[in-house]
């Protein structure tokens, strides 16, 4: 698979089969992804890869919290800017409308939306979860490094025929995650990435992107 095909076919998959992901494939992908760039070559990422009984236990504990309406642990970083400003507020609500609409959940159906969101903590059925931590004293540049690293992982997964879903949602129940994976206290949980094989029986709407001219300006003197 060439890089364009990997980029084009990657999407946030929210329905996986229970087919296990071979350990050798995970090791191959994570070994290759370590070639991702980072400022000063700091490689400021710490990963935990969960499968089997530990993942089942994490899903169970997180699902219990979600079912109880637990709003989550105090946040260690802001997921979104505090004020919903254009054009981002519109893009975010369009994405939500598309996502929940595809599941047949009406706009005002708060319980339906909650249930769909709660599926995050079941990894959408995926048999593998990668958890991405970064040292608390790292700055914006290193968080960007971590993002590049995770995208590299997700593209390599495509090359292996695997799918993924990046999930900030795991940071909401980060203390429960910590009970299972015992991270160092100086680490912040950025996100999880559910990994597995997409369930082909579940249709999905392709997410949109704004036209190139909205985000890119060529400064070429012409
Ligand atoms: C850092 C990051 C965190 C995300 N967190 C979640 C999440 O918690 N739950 C979820 O369902 N999707 C999550 N997503 C997926 C985005 O909603 C998705 O990437 C976006 O809507 C574009 O869709 P696409 O990836 O299918 O192209 C996250 C994506 C990124 C990059």
Residues 6+ apart with CB under 8 A from 161: 197
CB of 171 sitting under 6 A from ligand 1: no
**Ligand 1: which of 6, 166, 204 to mutate, most ligand atoms within 8 Å of CB?**
166
Residue 46's closest CA among 158, 163, 170, 189?
189
Name the closest-CA residue to atom 4, ligand 1: 167
Q: Which domain holds residue 63?
A: 3-215
* Residue nearest to ligand 1 atom 29, measured at CA: 166
Ligand 1 pocket check for 95: Cβ under 6 Å: yes
Residue 220 falls within a domain, yes or no? no
Residue 129 has pLDDT above 90, yes or no: yes
Q: What is the pLDDT of residues 64-103, one digit of tens each?
A: 999 999 999 999 999 999 998 999 999 999 999 999 998 9
Identify whether the C-beta of residue 126 lies closer than 8 Å to the C-beta of residue 59: no
Peptide bond into 87 cis (omega under 30): yes
Q: Is residue 222 part of a domain?
A: no
Q: What is the reported pLDDT for 202?
A: 92
Instruction: Decide whether any atom of ligand 1 lies within 6 Å of the 168 Cβ.
Output: yes
Query: Number of folded domains in the chain?
Result: 1
Task: List the one residue out of 73, 153, 178, 169 whose CA is nearest residue 121.
Answer: 169
Within a domain: 52? yes
Is 164 in contact with 9 (CB distance < 8 Å)? no
Q: Are 149 and 38 in contact (CB under 8 A)?
A: yes
Domain assignment of residue 221, yes or no: no
pLDDT tens digits, 156-182: 999 999 999 999 999 999 999 999 999
Average pLDDT taken over every residue of the chain? 97
Q: What is the CATH number of the domain that holds 59?
A: 3.40.109.10
Question: Atom 17, ligand 1: which residue's CA is nearest?
Answer: 12
| Average pLDDT, integer, range 118-128 | 98
113 lines ligand 1 (CB under 6 A): no
What percent of the chain is predicted at pLDDT more than 70? 100
Global pTM reads 0.97
Tokens encoding 9 = 């076919």
Nearest atom in ligand 1 to 206's CA:
26
| Least confident segment among 10-19, 116-125, 139-148, 203-212 | 203-212
- Is 176 among the domain residues? yes
């Amino acid at each position: 698979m060439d890089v364009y095909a990997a980029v084009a076919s990657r999407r946030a998959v929210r329905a996986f089969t229970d087919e296990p992901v071979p350990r050798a494939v995970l090791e191959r992908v994570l070994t290759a992804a370590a070639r991702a760039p980072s400022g000063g070559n700091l490689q400021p990422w710490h990963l935990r890869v969960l499968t089997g009984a530990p993942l089942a236990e994490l899903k169970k504990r997180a699902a219990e919290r979600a079912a109880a309406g637990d709003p989550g642990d105090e946040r260690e970083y802001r997921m979104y800017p505090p004020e919903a400003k254009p054009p981002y507020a519109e893009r975010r609500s369009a994405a939500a409308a598309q996502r929940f609409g595809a599941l047949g959940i009406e706009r005002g159906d708060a319980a339906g939306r909650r249930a769909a969101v709660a599926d995050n903590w079941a990894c959408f059925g995926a048999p593998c979860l990668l958890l991405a931590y970064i040292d608390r004293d790292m700055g914006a540049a290193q968080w960007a490094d971590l993002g590049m690293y995770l995208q590299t992982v997700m593209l390599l997964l495509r090359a292996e025929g695997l799918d993924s879903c990046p999930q900030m949602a795991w940071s909401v129940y980060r203390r429960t995650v910590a009970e299972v994976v015992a991270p160092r206290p100086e680490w912040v949980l950025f996100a999880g990435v559910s990994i597995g094989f997409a369930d082909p029986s579940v249709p999905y709407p392709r997410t949109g992107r704004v036209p190139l001219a909205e985000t890119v300006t060529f400064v070429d003197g012409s």
